[in-house]
Structure 1
Amino acid sequence: MTGNDSGTDQVARSGLVVTVPEAEAAVRAWRDRLDPSVGSGMPAHVTVLFPFLPEARLDGDTLAAISDVIGRHKSFEARFERCGRFPGVLYLAPEPATPFRALTEAVVDRWPETPPFGGQFADIVPHLTIAQGQDDAVLDEAEAGLLDRLPVVTRVASVDLMVHDGSRWRQRASFALG
């Protein structure tokens, strides 16, 4: 999750993510140094929706509704073979990106009060964050260090609901794609 998701002001907040354990070997050393979310327990992931609902709203009916929305989407394979950038941010770009966007759009259609990244950005750009809040020289170094470790390939079969307890992110539930 890009933005300030390191833990500050995240108590009882939630997000929906696709974890990418296959990427950990390639990205972990860079993320440990350059992505504050690692320190609060967030694994390598592509954000589906952040921020999502406050934890207090995550009751049984809501979890069933999330499962229904996610379950309407088919599992798919994603490849990460190139880097992309936002200002101060380096990320791996998944291909295809369309299924990630479709998941985000479906969740937002069901919960329109939860626009991606609080409505800060006009476009949905699926990404796996490597570095945040860094200058171009640091991003250049990280990108050069990653290129020989790509591609990373994963099978996307679920979306995880992550909740922040004030200091760490923890998985609250996992929802299977169809």
Structure 2
Amino acid sequence: MRDQPSVSGTQQTSSSAVSTGRTSGDGGESLPKRPEELKVDGIDPCKLLTESQQKELGTDQAPRLNADGADSLGNPLCGYRKVEGTPRYGYSVSLVPQEGADVWLKEKRNAEVKVLNVGGFGAVETRLPGDQDISCNVVVDVAEGQSLDMQFTLYTAGAIPLEQMCANARHGAELAVQTLQTLK
């Protein structure tokens, strides 16, 4: 593991990553075994980052459920935002009880996928074509058929390179997994 500067200028530890350089659904790769099952049913995504963790990520707004609704499966999204100064950015997190992170490796989806280890859990980093200059997603396989989806989105165009956006998404996912382990 290596330290990388976060958006707020502090150091953060990144997860280990194995680049596949492929699109989802190409087959042949699987996620490592989970260290434990962290069921996500009924957990409020706005409780996944503590105040201390939010400060570590540099957010300056209270978390709130996304007024626009939910992810593609109907799960609520919670937004943690930094809107003061520049760069401006946000973290969106959803808990997905309908599918594990492994679907990104098994099913054909319009995304570039990289297998990761986030806090001891298998995960995938997904980059959607056309969104690579504004966002990066990390989907953590937390239980059989369940996942935690963390997205880092940049609101200040060009302020942060893609690799740093993905490092920020991984770090946000690590913190959310730490909190999820205390909520079981």
TM-score by length of 1: 0.27
Q: Which has the higher contact order (CA 8 A, sep 6+)?
A: 1
Instruction: Choose between structure 1 and 2: higher strand proportion.
Output: 2
TM-score by length of 2: 0.27
